[in-house]
Amino acid sequence: MTDPTDWLPPSTIEPVHGRRAWRAAEPLHGMIYFVPEAHERYAALGIDPAAGYFASRSAPMGPVGAGAVAGAFFNFNPALVARALPAVWETTTPQAVLAARREGAVAALTRALGDRVDSAEMREAADLARRAAESATAYPEGRVLFAAHATLTWPDEPLPVLWHAQTLLREFRGDGHLAALLMAGLTGLEALILHTATGEVPAKFLRRSRGWSDEQWSAAVEGLRERGLVEGDEPALSDSGRAQRAWVEATTDRLAVPAYTVLGVEGCARLAELTRPMSRAVVDAGLLDPTKAILAKS
């Protein structure tokens, strides 16, 4: 497979440095999909948990319908998305949902981080992450979710700044990841199956939370088996599947580089150093418990 990223202009940092910075801080964003602080605030707006996920993540795009969200989110069954949207916008507004989401994030992170919330490390991490996120806004083309999130007003305090910055960086990377999956010839369902074939995430959780039936899942598995990307009964990645996944991840890393170039190697390393213990505290506090995911019962 020819690597189209070879045609990109050279970057000033290797992709691995941006990847490490993103991975170290990602739990600070990812916990929003699991914590009760978010569930409770969506419920106060009259939104059930599943609708809360779709509404809160798509709210920066405005009161859009299921088609646009299914396309932007990529791996959810469109029928599942259609159960929530656009009906949720008859109950509340994107602005109210965004406020609830940020309040839930700050409350949950405050619970997990304790004294770290007001620390010098928090202020430094927030500054570094914001620099990276603001730098990424020069590259909105083709990144629908990121570009929409980038229009939101920045908060004032370090903790919500860090959360918002990591949210932007997550969507920037995520939009690039979808581009890589498309170049690899994968549908959203196929990408999910290949993810579970690594053994990193239970297939049952991803299938249920993304709304795919047993029949749809099995048919897609067989298609991937015929293409030589998976093997065995489970299934597991074949050599070809592992090579494809490695290419997708490497391409995703390369496409994320523009966000982190402004920090340089030392800045990326410092951001990872600062956020790693914060993310560990998030995990230790149970904020990433998959049994409490917003979509776990969908």
What was the pLDDT predicted at 2? 57
Q: Is residue 298 part of a domain?
A: no
- Model's pTM, two decimal places? 0.94
| Maximum CA extent, the chain | 54
Give the type of residue at 289.
D
Range of the domain at 58: 7-290
In a domain, 268, yes or no: yes
Kindly report, residue by residue over 18-35, the tens digit of the pLDDT.
Answer: 999 999 999 999 999 999
175: left (phi over 0), alpha (psi -120 to 50) or beta: alpha
Q: What pLDDT score was predicted for residue 296?
A: 41
Asked, for residue 238, whether it belongs to a domain, the answer is: yes
Q: Is residue 171 part of a domain?
A: yes
Query: How high is the pLDDT of residue 204?
Result: 87
In a domain, residue 1? The reply is: no
* Tally of domains within the chain: 1
- In this predicted model, what pLDDT tens digit does every residue of 117-176 receive, in sequence order? 999 999 999 999 999 999 999 999 999 999 999 999 999 999 999 999 999 999 999 999
SS3 100: helix
298 falls in which pLDDT band (50, 70, 90)?
A: very low
What is residue 293's DSSP assignment? -
- Average pLDDT score, the chain: 94
What confidence category does residue 205 fall into, taking pLDDT thresholds of 50, 70 and 90? confident
Beta strands in the chain (DSSP E): 230-231, 236-237
- Neighbour-count burial of 98, counting CB atoms closer than 10 A to its CB (0-12 exposed, 13-18 middle, 19+ buried): middle
Asked whether residue 2 is domain-assigned, the answer is no
201 within a domain of the structure (yes/no): yes
